[in-house]
Structure 1
Amino acid sequence: MLPRRLNLAQVLDDTVQRHPTNEAFVCNGTRDTWATLDDKVWRTAAVLWKLGIRKGDHVGIMLGNSIQWLQAFFACARIGAVTVPVNTRFRTEELRFCLSQADIKALVMADEFLGIDFSALLQEVEPAVSTRLPGANLPRLEHVLVVHSSSKEIPAGAQDFAALVAAAAAADLDAVRTRHTPAAPDDILLIQYTSGTTSFPKGVMLSHDNMLSNAAAVAERMGVRPDDRYFSIRPFFHVAGTTLSVLVSLTAGCCLLTLPRFDVAETLRILDQEKCTLTSGNDTIFLMLMAHETFDPARLHLRGGWAAAGPEVMQKIHDVMRVPGLCNAYGLSEASPNVVFSSWNDPLALRVAGLALPHAGTQVRVVDPESGIALPPDNPGEIQVKGWNVMRGYYNMPDNTAKTFTDDGWLKTGDLGVLNQEGRLRIVGRLKDMLRVGGENVAPSEVEGLLLTHDAIELAQIVGVPDPRLGEVPAAFIVLKSGHHCTEDELIAWCKPRIANFKVPRYVRIVDDFNAIGMTGSSKVQKNKLRAHAITVLGLEGR
């Protein structure tokens, strides 16, 4: 395992020194060795330094998986700046909240991605990008660097990322190499915005040590070697992309392969032609791969990787995809993210059942959700975590941070699990009111809060209902204000430009009230009864 107490720049230096000519990254037609990647990182760091980005400054990255994402992330780490990944599915209100709450000083962004005009989106949030930054809406945002891929002009208040990197002079490189202040292991490397039970996401602060130690521990359990070719479609704006993809590759020195967006046929082609030996994903991703018309296990070269999946899917990956050493994983952003991880050589029955051990130096306990008392083995309760993988708190949210920890310092995950006699953890479900839509977390309260801004809506409740492809999708139950009218299709259309597509309700039903469905004594809707009602009225039984 990688020794702890390092910063990312030190690990990158070591990997470049050990494997300079090995392929490091393959994506969308680009190929880089560790040496050529490091050169791009230094040039990007020189650009940021010249713009005035210093240790502790916050830099947002709003890009699909790409070499530019890695350049910006590693460059920030080199000069001690903090990366803030921005979800590429964010819409106006989410983007405004993230850029403002995170105090972002510079933003590296695509001009467009997945059909979304990011330049136009940013101009809605901060009109000054059309003229000159900073502006009134985001006074801390001083620089926008655009990765230009379309025929549209870059906003007048922004700059061309590629042109700046290409123009980095020797003096700029010398300045950043000699004058920057290295990050300490406990300095914040990244702020990960994750959906929670509040109206908007919370910024999870993760240190260099948090993420690098987590990546090294996972790489050891996966059995990653420098000659491995690791394909991961996990978005880099998630910690499953940064820690469990990018940093696993970095700490092990292997090649990481990815795509800007998940395409089943293209993924299968890459797995075959690039002779990928490792991969990762959730149950939805693996099921889509196995169901595709071009799927042929004889053309795969996979020996392992990891999945966040249930027993049925884990067994199917072993039997149908013929991946012998696949590991099971559980985690959350607040734990960098991994909490428990199978070992590649654990007995298959343990890996399929999701029975995995915590990493060395970390602790897991299961407690009674009401009393907080630790439970004996084989009893389900809330999973709590302690150790070097636990976050430093939520950025500028001390009250939320305090509520997430117990008085004796354990992270409350809000997830339900069982510890067996050997200390292996099995995930049972979720205690917290959270939806999981195709691998994306959706807080019902966030969508409910948006719906309540509609002029016609009196009450709104969101529950998850089964979906064969995404696992579950949001369903909205709405009470309209007296004298107002709005159709269900109109409400769905109203949501689409305002929130990420995976948060938009798949189903909307307008009801007179929730009394017949189920209310608590304190006049709250009983979500378990509402979900059962939704499954019935939507005809989703058996899914």
Structure 2
Amino acid sequence: MLLEPSSSFPDMPLTLPRLFGWAAQHYGQKVAIREAGQDISYQQLNDLRRQAAKAFFAIGVAHGDRVAIWAPNMAEWIVAAAGLQSVGAILVPLNTRLQEKEAADILSRAGVKVLLTTAEFESAAPSLLKNLDNLHHCILLPQAGASAADESRSWQAFLKLGEQLDDAKFIAAERAVNPHDSADMLFTSGTTGKAKGVLCSHEQNIRVFQSWSAIVGLSADDNYLIINPFFHSFGYKAGWLAAIICGATILPMAKFDKKSVMEAIQRDKVTMLPGAPSLYEMLLADDSRHEYDLSSLRLGVTGAASVPVQLVRDMRDKLGFKTVVTAYGLTESTGVVTICRPDDDAETIASTSGRAIEGVEVKCADPKTGVELERGCEGEVWVRGYNVMQGYFDMPEATAEAITPDAWLKTGDIGVMDAQGYLKITDRLKDMYIMNGENVYPAEVEKALYGLEGVAQVAVIGVPKAPQGEVGMAFIVPKPNSLLDAAAVRDYCAAQLAAYKVPFYTEFVEALPLNASGKVLKTELKKIALEKLGTAST
């Protein structure tokens, strides 16, 4: 198999602070970020990054400290992330859809020292900052349309804190950042429902997305509309980080809205628009798209769900994309494992997740022995290479369970690989399903539902539904004389969990199908669900 070029920039540095400095030298006055009519050049972005880094250093943020960002996509998100990473701190992005309890759990277990958020999120979680012993500072990022918050904790006041800093000490701290240092900790749930903090290094992030960018063809000529949230690898690493590597112009969008997307494409001549399949399906289904000039669209990258062949064709023929590729990855693989190539045919792009990126091994293995199965046979997808995470934060047993002694990452996904190395994901060992690009782990939802009065047993599965891809369906065995109904289930979940985790369907049953050892047969539930979908309680 031919190796891919790792990057057209062999001199690229392998830490985030050096990368921003390198980009400033290479791209200079080119627009790095355009937001709300304001342009930030690559040189200005690096200056802002250094200003933020000095401010973090001034408030005592040191190498290895954890700093969280809980905010929607915005230019300040990028500046803050690069700034904290420039003094060796570890970025902890928080999902903006988390409930207060979920966010507090992550902040506590990660030992977060500083939180950057907006007044909206802080006011929605008034007790969040209480009882968090490690949290010393809360900085409020600017928010469009929001009234002035506590000025002493504002982003602008924070940036001023580094103005009197001894430059020599800051430069020493910046230069001490090593390519192998942990750059970020993205949280992902597991079969137990307990969120795990995935650690990846500076070098891993940069190398993986050098390779990714080279394959998809991202370049300095691209205007990159980033709707995918920055708290995900898709919006952060395949988003603004990849753009900075290539010198593209970043166009952050805080929230998806079809009209706003089409207006942005026309106004800013957007060329790069990645997203979950549902994003493109919603654009295609909107007849008003003909009122906008979408002809600038060039590159689309999708995944996170099965992709119909017709969608790939429609993206090319109706939306005008010259290049469409699909990919597969997980947080534990620095976001990327396999990817299609731009010259693959529509059926290959739709039916597979491509082949491994350079320097990464992939095999479909017997889950018990790790022995690679013959091509064409279903097995658990195992990955080995420089993209495999450093480990789960403060969870050595979970790390040892996920990564074998000979460095194979057990993904928990079931797949089939063909003779050319193209991978097709067919099932998930961990029962995870994907709604609008968001991973949902049934065990977490089930755990929450067991706290609802009147629930005797519960099992949650994912079922197909357009345009979300998949949604949750809860099968509940109620306790005798229980007055539970679907609305009560929905309201309870909404108070406990992020909105995307709330089951869309609720079905009350007398018993759950069990095997001889008492384990719920979710394969049987899926058959039942397909039969009942037309009449399931909603």
Q: Does the TM-score normalized on the shorter chain lie above 0.5?
A: yes
Kept in 2, the 8 Å contact 1:25–1:67? The answer is yes
Count how many residue pairs are aligned between Structure 1 and Structure 2: 523
Q: Does the 8 Å CA contact 1:473/1:505 hold for their aligned counterparts?
A: yes
Task: State whether structure 2 residue 38 is matched by structure 1 residue 43.
Answer: no
2:514 maps to 1:519: yes
State the shift of 1:209 in Å.
Answer: 1.1
**1:416 deviation in Å?**
2.1
Deviating more after overlay: 275-284 vs 180-189:
180-189
Residue-by-residue CA offset, 1:364-404 (whole Å, 9 max, x unaligned): 11113354321122222211110011101111111111111
The change in CA–CA distance for 1:34 and 1:272 in structure 2 (over 3 A counts) is: same
Name 1:301's counterpart in structure 2. Answer: 296
Aligned runs of 1:71-150 on 2, under 5 Å? 71-112=79-120, 118-127=121-130, 137-149=131-143
| Equivalent position of 2:307 in the other structure | 310
Q: Which amino acid is the alignment partner of residue 176 of structure 1?
A: F
* 8 Å CA contact retained: 2:57, 2:162: no
Range that drifts further, 79-88 or 414-423:
414-423
For residues 367 and 109 of structure 1, the distance between their equivalents in structure 2, rounded to whole angstroms, comes to: 43
Change (3 A) 1:339 1:170: same
Distance in 2 between residues matched to 1:363 and 1:454, nearest whole Å? 44
Deviates more, 1:310-319 or 1:467-476: 310-319
- Hey, what's the Cα distance between the residues in 2 that align with 1:540 and 1:465? 14
Residue 273 of structure 1 is matched in structure 2 by 267
Q: CA deviation at 1:178?
A: 4.7
Other structure's SS at 1:269 match = helix
Q: Deviations over 1:404-424 (max 9, x none)?
A: 123432111112222222223
Equivalences for residues 387-406 of structure 1 within 5 A: 387-406=385-404
Distance in 2 between the 1:299 and 1:235 partners? 22
* Alpha-carbon distance, 1:278 to partner: 1.7
Does the C-alpha gap of structure 1 residues 536 and 162 become closer, same or farther in structure 2, counting only changes over 3 Å?
farther
Q: Map of 1:82-231 to 2, 5 A cutoff?
A: 82-112=90-120, 118-127=121-130, 137-149=131-143, 154=149, 159-166=153-160, 168-171=162-165, 175-231=169-225
Query: Which aligned pairs between 1:322-361 and structure 2 lie closer than 5 A?
Result: 322-354=320-352, 356-361=354-359
Q: How far apart, CA to CA, are the structure 1 residues paired with 2:140 and 2:375?
A: 53
Give how far 1:356 is off.
Answer: 2.1
Partner of 1:446: 444
Give unmatched runs, 5+ long, in structure 2: 1-6
Q: What SS is found at the alignment partner of 2:337?
A: strand
Residue 262, structure 1, aligned to residue 281, structure 2: no
Counterpart for residue 528 of structure 1: 523
| Aligned counterparts of 2:499 and 2:420: Cα–Cα separation in 1 | 42
> How far is the alpha carbon of 1:497 from its aligned partner?
2.4
Question: TM-score if structure 2 supplies the norm length?
Answer: 0.92
Q: Distance in 2 between matches of 1:298 and 1:429?
A: 39
Q: 2:454 aligns with which of 456, 459, 472?
A: 456
The answer to whether the 8 Å contact 2:270/2:297 transfers is yes
Amino acid of the structure 2 residue aligned with 1:10: R
SS at match of 1:295: helix
Q: Deviations over 1:100-149 (max 9, x none)?
A: 1111000001111xxxxx2134432333xxxxxxxxx2111111111243
Matched, 1:19 2:22: no
- After TM superposition, the structure 1 stretch with the greater mean CA deviation from structure 2, 367-376 or 428-437, is 367-376
Deviation at 1:441, TM superposition (A): 0.3
Query: Distance in 2 between the 1:152 and 1:277 partners?
Result: 34
Stretches of structure 1 that go unaligned for 5 or more consecutive residues are 113-117, 128-136
Partner of 2:3: none
- Partners in 1 of 2:346 and 2:488 — Cα distance? 49
Q: Quote the Cα distance in structure 2 between the aligned partners of 1:351 and 1:246.
A: 24
Go from structure 1 to structure 2 and tell me whether the alpha carbon gap of 1:125 and 1:483 turns closer, same or farther (over 3 Å shift): farther
Q: 2:249 corresponds to which letter in structure 1?
A: C
Superimposed CA distance per residue, residues 38-78 of structure 1 (whole angstroms, 9 cap, x where no aligned partner): 22211211211111001110000001000111011100121
Preserved CA contact (<8 Å) 1:191 1:203: yes
Structure 2 counterparts to residues 372-383 of structure 1, below 5 A: 372-383=370-381
1:263 and 1:184, CA in 2 relative to 1: closer, same or farther beyond 3 A? same
Does the Cα contact within 8 Å between 2:55 and 2:160 map onto a contact in 1?
Answer: no
- Look up the SS of the partner of 2:179 in the other structure: coil
Which residue in 1 is equivalent to 2:4? none
In structure 2, the partner of 1:411 is 409
Q: Write out aligned runs for 1:484-499 (5 A).
A: 484-499=482-497
> Does structure 2 conserve the Cα–Cα contact (< 8 Å) formed by 1:42 and 1:173?
no
**Distance 1:5-1:169 versus aligned 2 partners, 3 A rule:** closer
State how far apart, in whole Å, the 2-side matches of 1:466 and 1:425 are.
21
Q: What is the CA–CA distance in structure 1 between the aligned matches of 2:390 and 2:339, rounded to whole Å?
A: 22
Aligned residue type for 2:387: N
Change (3 A) 1:479 1:28: farther
SS at match of 2:297: coil
Counterpart CA distance in 2 for 1:300 and 1:323 is: 8
Q: In 2 relative to 1, CA 295–335 (structure 1 residues): closer, same or farther, beyond 3 Å?
A: same
Report the Cα distance in structure 1 between the residues aligned to 2:181 and 2:515, rounded to whole angstroms.
45
- Shift in CA distance, 540/396, structure 1 to aligned 2, threshold 3 Å: farther
Distance in 1 (CA, whole Å) between partners of 2:237 and 2:535 is 36
Q: How far 1:174 sits from its partner (Å)?
A: 6.2
Q: 1:405 to 1:39 in 2, by over 3 A?
A: same
Matched residues in 2 for 1:472 and 1:321: separation?
24
- Conserved 8 A contact 1:7-1:208: yes
Question: Any idea what SS the aligned residue of 2:384 has?
Answer: strand
Question: In terms of mean alpha carbon deviation, does 304-313 or 254-263 score higher?
Answer: 304-313
Separation of aligned partners in 2, 1:535 and 1:32? 51
Of the candidates 506, 509, 533, which is equivalent to residue 538 of structure 1? 533
1:92 CA displacement: 2.0
